């Protein structure tokens, strides 16, 4: 299950979705909005997506993970819109029979999301704003 | 045959140009690389962006891919999701 | 936070505990009771612990993880007593600023728990029972 | 000086002996390895267990560690938690 949503990410329903009768391991990764900046405290973050492509790229990543590891159920939920520090920006959940598959698939998915999925994050300060990663 | 394609902008490219889409004239056999050259010429402000990829119909495109006026084209500045 | 409990493991309160203002990543691993057996369906499992030592061994593992990775918060909760398949036997949660630390620490902890913590699992069938791992 | 130590049993060792603790006589300077030998002699049923470690006061002990009657001693069959 893949979703891109402006609503807060609901960990409890994700966990419910991840249940499987053959489950031996569930790895759940939460990416949390962090204040990256040293001196200037961040007021909020704005996440923007090229929705159609973000979803299809996440689907490709999930398909590739399915090829590589033995996955019983998975969910990838990415938030967009305005987020405050401490909020969950992304949830990745992987259910497998054996734990190595869960850890490896989960890590592959988050690492690849950060490289290929068209989602952009802007840090907003009281006195300005910066698109993360955009400048050299 | 000359025509115009609309190029969707996101993130920093939208902020730098002040637009959410650009109208770019293309000729028959215009390739992704040609489009990028033209965009950079028309919008020198985009030079500050670390890298610019092009998506065609929601897929990352190689620079030699040929464009048509029916394609949905987007500029993809460096992503920062996750 | 380390616990050994006969109560069902409460994922929501574990997640609440794992919050931190500097959090960038939370990795949550759930070990789920699985029916390992091919032909004989398992009725239930009994987990038994040498409580005092199980807790001190889990604490040692957590301390070692703290030495090796930059951890903001952690929780390790192991269940004991009677469990049915599908129930959570162990929860490990790691909060870090950066995701690599969360994944690596979490995996180290579950791998080491399975090697050193004095907890034993018995599979109970309708027609017999087996201590897992005990025989050659 | 002879005395007796109580050895706590868990898991399969408890099932095989039918007891949750064994009373094992030890001499001064009895080591963990000696205790294991004596346990195996008195309870041949334990031979089927894949490996047996000894914990002293809640810590894994080496075979050459010396035991006293005040120690809390436990047999640790192969663990299967997690």
Q: Does residue A123 fall inside a structural domain?
A: yes
With a pLDDT cut of 70, the percent of chain B lying above it is: 99
User: What pLDDT score was predicted for residue A30?
Assistant: 98
Instruction: Print the domain residue range for A99.
Output: 2-131
D43-80, pLDDT tens digit by residue? Answer: 999 988 989 999 999 999 999 999 998 999 999 999 99
Q: Does residue A105 fall inside a structural domain?
A: yes
Cβ–Cβ < 8 Å for A123, A33: no
Chains B and A touch (3+ CB pairs under 8 A): yes
Give mean pLDDT, residues B31-57: 94
All residues at 6 or more sequence positions from C81 whose CB lies less than 8 Å from its CB, including other chains: C6, C46, C47
Please give the biggest Cα pair distance in chain C. 52
Q: Whole-angstrom Cα distance, residue D47 to residue C17?
A: 45
∠ at Cα D11 (D10, D14), nearest 5°? 65
Examine the pLDDT at A25 and tell me if it is beyond 80.
Answer: yes
ipTM > 0.90, yes or no: yes
Examine the pLDDT at C71 and tell me if it is beyond 80.
Answer: yes
Examine the pLDDT at A37 and tell me if it is beyond 90.
Answer: no
Give mean pLDDT, residues D11-22: 96
Q: In this structure, what CATH number is given to the domain that contains residue C107?
A: 3.90.1170.40
CB-based contact, A32 to chain C, within 8 Å: yes
Residues 34..63 of D with a Cβ closer than 8 Å to C: which? 48-50, 55, 58-60
Q: What does each C-alpha distance from A105 to A27, A74, A92, C31 come to in angstroms?
A: 9, 10, 10, 16
∠ at Cα A91 (C35, C70), nearest 5°? 95
> How many beta-carbon contacts under 8 Å exist across C and D?
82
CA dihedral B7, B11, B12, B15 (to 10 degrees): 80
Give residue A58's pLDDT band: very low, low, confident or very high (50, 70, 90): very high
C102-121, pLDDT tens digit by residue? Answer: 999 999 999 999 999 999 99
User: What pLDDT score was predicted for residue B68?
Assistant: 92
Q: Distance, in angstroms, between C59 CA and closest chain A CA? A: 22
Q: Distance, in angstroms, between A101 CA and closest chain C CA? A: 11
Interchain contact, C132 vs D80, CB within 8 Å: yes
Q: Does residue C117 fall inside a structural domain?
A: yes
CATH code for the part of the protein at D3-76 = 3.10.20.30
DSSP letters, A63-113, are HHHHHHS--SEEEEEEE-EEE-TTSEEEEEEEEESSHHHHHHHHHHHHHHH
Examine the pLDDT at C21 and tell me if it is beyond 70.
Answer: yes
Q: Does residue A136 fall inside a structural domain?
A: no
CB-based contact, D78 to chain C, within 8 Å: yes
With a pLDDT cut of 90, the percent of chain A lying above it is: 86
Q: Strand order in D3-8's β-sheet?
A: D21-26, D3-8, D73-76, D53-56, D59-60
CB-based contact, C86 to chain A, within 8 Å: yes
User: What pLDDT score was predicted for residue A73?
Assistant: 98
Q: How many structural domains is chain C composed of?
A: 1
Give mean pLDDT, residues D14-39: 93
Q: From the list A52, A110, A120, which residue is nearest B79 (CB)?
A: A120
Q: Whole-angstrom Cα distance, residue A91 to residue A18?
A: 12
The domains of chain B are located at 3-76
Helix H or strand E encompassing A11: helix A11-18
Q: Does residue C136 fall inside a structural domain?
A: no
| Token pair belonging to D8 | 């706590």
């Amino acid at each position: 299950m893949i979703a891109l949503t402006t609503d807060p990410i609901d960990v409890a329903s994700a966990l419910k979705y991840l249940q499987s009768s053959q489950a031996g391991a569930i790895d759940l990764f939460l990416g949390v909005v962090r204040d990256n900046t040293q001196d200037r405290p961040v007021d909020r973050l704005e996440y923007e997506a090229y929705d159609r492509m973000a979803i299809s790229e996440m689907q490709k990543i999930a398909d590739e993970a399915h090829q590589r590891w033995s996955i019983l159920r998975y969910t990838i939920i990415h938030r967009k819109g305005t987020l405050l520090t401490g909020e969950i920006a992304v949830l990745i959940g992987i259910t497998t029979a054996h734990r190595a598959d869960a850890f490896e698939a989960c890590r592959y998915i988050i690492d690849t999301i950060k490289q290929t999925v068209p989602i952009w994050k802007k840090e907003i300060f009281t006195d300005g704003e910066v698109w993360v990663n955009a400048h050299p | 045959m000359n025509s115009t394609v609309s190029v969707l902008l996101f993130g920093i490219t939208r902020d730098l140009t002040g637009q959410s889409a650009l109208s770019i004239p293309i000729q028959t056999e215009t390739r992704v690389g040609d489009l990028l050259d033209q965009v950079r010429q028309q919008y020198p402000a985009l030079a500050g962006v670390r890298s610019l990829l092009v998506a065609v119909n929601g897929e990352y495109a190689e620079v030699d891919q040929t464009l048509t006026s029916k394609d949905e084209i987007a500029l993809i500045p460096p992503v920062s999701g996750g």
